Amino acid sequence: MNWLTHNWRLKLAALVLGATTWWFVSNITNDRRLLQAVPVEVRTRDNVIVLEQSTSLADVEVRGTRNDVRQIQRDDLLVVADLTRESRRGEVSCRLGPSNVRHPRWIQPVAVNPGRLVVVLDDLVTRDLPVHVPLEGQPAAGYRVERIAVFPEKIPVRGPKTRLDEHPRLTTAAVSLHNRRASFRERVELSLDPMTDLPLPRRWVEVDVQIRAITAEESAP
């Protein structure tokens, strides 16, 4: 027990100094602040796309010195859900916590709300899809459509596998045949799902419509 009583005044002073220092540091670094609407970023491996996510914003509570907590801004933070090792497709749930927050080193995240993120993942694929041209109206009386040709007939499209499975062709804006008497060629825009993309810069096709007069033989009953 001699070690307790030896230089006890010095040891007591050191204990008091340590406790005071701990109290001081704890208090000046224990200010908290809630930052709302911090962006949530989902990271996936190549050729994987996020179809849906339960939230794109989160509230983050941070801790630090009074001055640092006062100066921190929402744009200084980013909540990252790293799914680059995720092999499942469809609905996937992952936890969001302080370790998911990218932040300046002088503050410390302590809580994230919501604490869970649900996303829907799908494979990103490229397919050659045929082009469908919807028609509106009818040619003038006594005329008929002989042939419709589309250039190009197929276009490579990149998008979510499930979406391309559900919609195995591209559709253009409607082409009007109303009261037409002659053949014509028209450039029409493609209608695309917002989650698909064309590797080529073009977003239109050429439609060639051949119209001719109905012969007497064809019109005979």
Q: Which residues contact 6 (CB under 8 A, 6 or more apart)?
A: none
| 111: nearest Cα among 152, 61, 151 | 61
Q: What is the pLDDT of residues 56-93, one digit of tens each?
A: 999 999 999 888 888 999 999 999 999 999 999 999 99
Q: pLDDT averaged over the chain?
A: 87
Q: With 0.75 as the threshold, say if the pTM is over it.
A: no
Asked if the bond preceding 114 is cis, omega within 30° of 0, the reply is: yes
Which pLDDT value is given to residue 60? 97
Q: Which residues contact 209 (CB under 8 A, 6 or more apart)?
A: 145, 147, 148, 175, 177, 180, 183, 184, 185, 186
Q: What is the pLDDT of residues 149-184, one digit of tens each?
A: 999 999 999 999 999 999 899 999 999 999 999 999
CATH assignment of 133-219?
A: 2.170.120.40
Contact between 156 and 199 under an 8 Å Cβ cutoff? The reply is yes
Which pLDDT value is given to residue 201? 66
Per-residue pLDDT at 28 exceeds 80: no
Contact between 48 and 124 under an 8 Å Cβ cutoff? The reply is yes
Which pLDDT value is given to residue 146? 92
Domain 28-123, classified CATH 3.40.1260.10, yes or no:
no
Per-residue pLDDT at 11 exceeds 70: no
